[in-house]
Amino acid sequence: MAEKPNYGSPTWHVVSNAMLGAALILVGVIAGLRYSPLLYLLILPSIYFLWSAYGWSRGGYLEERLRIREEFIRAVGVGDGERILDVGTGSGFLAIGFAKAMREGEVVGIDIWMPMGGGTTMENALRNAEIEGVADKVEFRRADAREIPYPDGHFDRVVASFTIHIIRDWPRALREMVRVLKPGGVLALLEPGRGWASGWRVERIVEHLKELGLKQVELQPFTIHYPKRRKVYLIKGVKTGEKG
């Protein structure tokens, strides 16, 4: 049987949500018995976590991710011979997708690959590229989005998927992404409506990209179905200036 690429597993989401749900039930029961029946209400939030665990466990994870990747690439566009940067590449999922869409070209995926940061490694990404048959078109480098190790105007397209909202200094990361983008090049991001990073919301990305000089900045709703149907957003913009 041919080896399949490893683009992550929902196991972590299943276990973490189930444990949080169980913990809330335990705390609610103990607090209700010891202190006040009103504290049984602490059990109510457990429903959300247990339902989320069920959603992640019901299958279809890889199929939905492949659909999202295909739609993202179709919306962003790709041309043969282009140079593309994937920021926060993780398992190489998006970078490999762009490489597969080109007959020739160069794709770079950067990440810091933190321990316990989703279970992906550079080795995992390299192996996935080999399995998918694009190892000759994809390069992976350990690098921080806030200090991208490439010169100004190096890439035709810079992309990221569910990355910006988890970066603490996300405005600095956006500045770097725009800096390494060629004049006339496209920047494209896929993000949720809100994030836990300080002061972050998707509307602020749009505002910030306009401040950085991008034109034709668009915010498009993008529906995903895993673990539940929810709305995320595709943000696109074009760097001002003429292509070389």
As to burial, measured by CB atoms within 10 angstroms (0-12 exposed, 13-18 middle, 19+ buried), residue 74 is exposed
Between CA 190 and CA 202 the distance in angstroms is 10
- Tokens, residue 231: 């709305």
Q: Model confidence over 33-75: pLDDT tens digits? A: 888 988 888 888 888 888 777 766 665 567 788 889 999 999 9
pLDDT in tens, 166-183: 888 999 999 999 999 999
Model pTM? 0.81
The number of CA neighbours under 13 Å toward the Cβ of 221 is: 4
| Mean of per-residue pLDDT scores for the chain | 88
Pairing between strand 181-191 and 155-161? parallel
- The DSSP 8-state label assigned to residue 56 in this structure reads H
The encoded tokens of residue 51 equal 């339902």
Structure tokens at 84: 């593309």
Q: Crossing angle, helix 170-179 and helix 202-211, to 10 degrees?
A: 40
d(CA 113, CA 160): 15
Phi, psi at residue 115, to the nearest 5°? -60, 140
